[in-house]
Structure 1
Amino acid sequence: MAAFGLIRAFDALIIILASHDQMALTSGSNPGMFVYQDLPPDPGYFGVIINWDGQWYEYIAAEGYPGAGAAGTATGSNPDPYWAWAFPPLFPMAVRAVMLMSGLSMPVAATALNLLFGAAAMIVFYRLVERTGGVALGVSAVLLTSCFIGAPILQMAYSESLALLLLVSTLWAIEGRHYLSAASLTALLAFTRLITVPLTVVCALLFASIAWRRGARLSRRDALGLAAVGVIGIVGIWLWSGMAAHLQSTSAAASKRTSSGSMLNLGWFGHSVRDGNWPFAVTLAILVLILFAISRNRWTDDWPHTLRSWLWVYPTFLLAATGMSGGILRYLALCPSVALLPAASRGIFTPRNRVLVVTAACVLGLALQVYYIDKFLVVSPGTFMP
């Protein structure tokens, strides 16, 4: 947890320095970006962390979700407030509760919550990995996840910190066969980030693994427990969108804001194929196969089963269900298995050399975080949307 705090402090310093390059943000100043709160140039740390989707989360935390007749009341280059329904409620409502109870501003409340969520996630993640891989691998897991290129998003006014906490807690509960807890956590995750479908695949793979090891003697408890978590994972992708459609009482056009039908476009794979860029599509498929091979290799024998599966299942889900954009870097912040890859060296390196590899990966990760903050999180000419 101390390492996580120090790295977040390092990122805070980089954000403060990089904020000098941020331009003023006003309604309509940056096409494609919603602006709820106008920001001056060089807005400092608390201005940068509410960039991009942070503006939507601030809108929801401050005003709640729009009801009927709210069209046109929001500001920004896209003035339709019904886009707020695309953001699941658990994180912004938690921030709203802290704001109401403490009187803190949204950026401060979001920072405090996300640092707590992130620290708790590191503790749970350490326990998850340490259970099978020992202390050294557990420490490596925390360091590598904290130094991952997309990790600065964990202190932005985004839902990733809470989602990471719920995700690793779910994996920990599944590994410990605490299926009621796993099912409850999966349901909460469905109201934080729409990433529950991969958990269904993880449960199916674990089911198959247990059945293979025990033959036909798979216990009823394991079968029913994994099935329950898997069903919630599938249903979870529609839980928020269905509830939002019911609560909106608006036009059909507004309900599309929360539709999960965009997954039918097959994300990066579909975009590449439709553009005729078959080499890129094949490259993506090969990348997934490499991750799958690593997950089945002896290099990751000391990883928890669920974490090995998540290594290739979640990236496959991202490539098939998200649009082609730089946002993939922050989405991968919810794939700690990828961050842990430099430590996937069982039987290859000596313990001492493994430490050197992890250290080098952390240094490289911190350097990439500086680039990520400057080019993705800070809004200036030539930046990319995270």
Structure 2
Amino acid sequence: MAHVTLTLARRWAQLALPLRIALIYLAARAVTTALMIGAAAQSTSLSRFGADPGLIDFVLGWDAQWYWLVAEDGYPSELPRTESGDVAENAWAFMPVFAYAAKFVGMLLGSWGAGAFVLSFVAGYFACLALHRLLRDRIGRSAATWSVVFFAFGPLAAMFQVGYAETLFLLPLFLALDLVIRHRYAWLYAVIPLMAFTRPGVLAFALFLGLHGVLRWSRRRQAALPVRDVVHIVALGALATACGFAWQAIAGAVTGDPGAYLATELAWRRNWIAGGVEGFVPFEGWIQAAQFWFVQWGLPAAAGLVAVFVLVVGVGCVLLFAPGVRRLGPDLRLWSASYVLYLLAVFFPQSSTFRLLLPLSPLWGAVAVPRSRVWRGGVLIACVAAQWVWILHMYALGNMFWQVP
């Protein structure tokens, strides 16, 4: 038995890395597909998808409908309004790259849904390759491979095969992080705009670039900081900032309303807050949500504020002191801190917030560092179990206000 195991391990090690990652990824997608089939069998007429939905119904569910609408009808030149006169939910909340890329691929495959599935699926595989490259020099090839395993089998792995823009955003994000760490800045002039018009989040990258620049400046005596790198970092930070606000400007120019994009985003938040919201205030979403959720759970609203404070302090301590996280290096820790701060500033936490944590996937490297087989096996089992819970409640049983992927 030991001889067979050793032989298999040697053969596995001899495979080319892209093939190894492909086998891991295909196994993960097979598991996710099986879980989706099982979830479809649990769906009833009370579900958003009805009784006996097919896998294509899940692919086209929830936000995929908005991307499909963008691909077919574009963006409204006049903002839709509710009966009360507030801006209603509309397509301006969804960036164009995924919608139109899926339309292009779908023209070859016969439908937008097929294009969206293939785009998410293929981008997910290349994101796995990019994640391995990003982590291998920091934690070793074995731990980097296990990071990919946890990423591909993770709780939100359904995003790899539905009509969402997540994987198409993660691929350039991982490449961009790797380029920054390796100080190969020139390619970022193409990668940053691609990220900016695929999903929100490039402002977090702008903050990360600023912190990266400060870090390199502080270490300039230990590691050379050429003038050209300074120019690149400043220019790229400005580009990322400009791209981060560009969609707001475009929405304002097309609709004639400078606040069109923020009003559109707040249209979703308005459904959660009694009395609605008047405007966007940074960091207010988490305060409002903490009070909302703790009241829903029968707890004092003030306890929610304490929970947010404890959460922020806890995340900060993990990024600063956790040995596994420190192994990832300062740049990935700075990215994680930048993205967490961005989430705190702009989002209203609810069930889809778990999906918004996917850009923190490089932190799987910290989970993969321990070499214990029991630990890694346990994490993998936990990932698949959490994936089942997510798919079941967000797709098969999704009919409540908190069941939104």
1:59 aligns with 2:78: no
1:204 aligns with 2:225: no
Instruction: Give the Å deviation of 1:123.
Output: 0.7
Letter in 1 for 2:97: L
1:367 aligns with 2:388: no
- Residue in 2 aligned with 1:280? 307
Cα distance in 2 between the residues matched to 1:196 and 1:250? 23
Cα distance in 2 between the residues matched to 1:113 and 1:262? 33
Cα distance in 1 between the residues matched to 2:150 and 2:261? 40
- Residue in 2 aligned with 1:139? 145
Cα distance in 1 between the residues matched to 2:399 and 2:253? 40
- Residue in 2 aligned with 1:84? 91
Cα distance in 2 between the residues matched to 1:202 and 1:304? 14
CA contact (8 A) 1:99 1:106 kept: yes
Instruction: Give the Å deviation of 1:271.
Output: 4.0
Picking from 191, 194, 198, the partner of 2:197 is 191
Change (3 A) 1:298 1:281: closer
Instruction: Give the Å deviation of 1:110.
Output: 0.9
1:17 aligns with 2:38: yes
Instruction: Give the Å deviation of 1:62.
Output: 2.7
Instruction: Give the Å deviation of 1:18.
Output: 0.7
Instruction: Give the Å deviation of 1:223.
Output: 1.3
Change (3 A) 1:254 1:126: closer
1:313 aligns with 2:343: no
Instruction: Give the Å deviation of 1:173.
Output: 1.3
CA contact (8 A) 1:82 1:254 kept: no
Picking from 23, 27, 42, the partner of 1:6 is 27
CA offsets per residue over residues 44-81 of structure 1, 9 Å max, x none?
1110122211111122223333345x959xxxxxxx88
Picking from 369, 377, 385, the partner of 2:395 is 377
CA contact (8 A) 1:308 1:337 kept: no
Letter in 1 for 2:310: T
Secondary structure in structure 2 of the residue aligned to 1:132: helix
Change (3 A) 1:263 1:15: farther
Secondary structure in structure 2 of the residue aligned to 1:179: coil
Secondary structure in structure 1 of the residue aligned to 2:282: helix
Change (3 A) 1:258 1:324: closer
- Residue in 1 aligned with 2:135? 129
Cα distance in 2 between the residues matched to 1:251 and 1:199? 24
Superposed counterparts of 1:175-186, under 5 Å: 175-186=181-192
- Residue in 1 aligned with 2:252? 245
* Identity fraction in percent: 22
Cα distance in 2 between the residues matched to 1:267 and 1:317? 12
TM-score normalized by structure 1?
0.83
Letter in 2 for 1:342: V
Instruction: Give the Å deviation of 1:241.
Output: 1.9
Cα distance in 2 between the residues matched to 1:127 and 1:313? 21
Instruction: Give the Å deviation of 1:232.
Output: 2.4
Cα distance in 2 between the residues matched to 1:252 and 1:286? 33
Cα distance in 2 between the residues matched to 1:14 and 1:315? 30
1:322 aligns with 2:347: yes
Secondary structure in structure 2 of the residue aligned to 1:264: coil
Letter in 2 for 1:378: A
Change (3 A) 1:71 1:316: closer
Change (3 A) 1:94 1:63: same
Instruction: Give the Å deviation of 1:361.
Output: 0.8
Letter in 2 for 1:189: M
Instruction: Give the Å deviation of 1:251.
Output: 9.6
Letter in 2 for 1:5: L
Letter in 2 for 1:231: A
Change (3 A) 1:334 1:154: farther
Letter in 1 for 2:38: L
CA contact (8 A) 2:196 2:244 kept: yes
Is the deviation greater in 54-63 or in 114-123? 54-63
Instruction: Give the Å deviation of 1:384.
Output: 1.1
Secondary structure in structure 1 of the residue aligned to 2:233: helix
Cα distance in 2 between the residues matched to 1:381 and 1:364? 25
- Residue in 1 aligned with 2:317? 290
Secondary structure in structure 1 of the residue aligned to 2:140: helix
TM-score normalized by structure 2?
0.79
Change (3 A) 1:312 1:359: farther
Instruction: Give the Å deviation of 1:316.
Output: 2.9
Superposed counterparts of 1:214-293, under 5 Å: 214-215=220-221, 218-249=225-256, 256-257=263-264, 262=280, 264-269=282-287, 271-272=289-290, 275-276=301-302, 277-293=304-320
1:340 aligns with 2:347: no
Number of aligned residues:
358
Instruction: Give the Å deviation of 1:312.
Output: 2.9
Letter in 2 for 1:93: Y
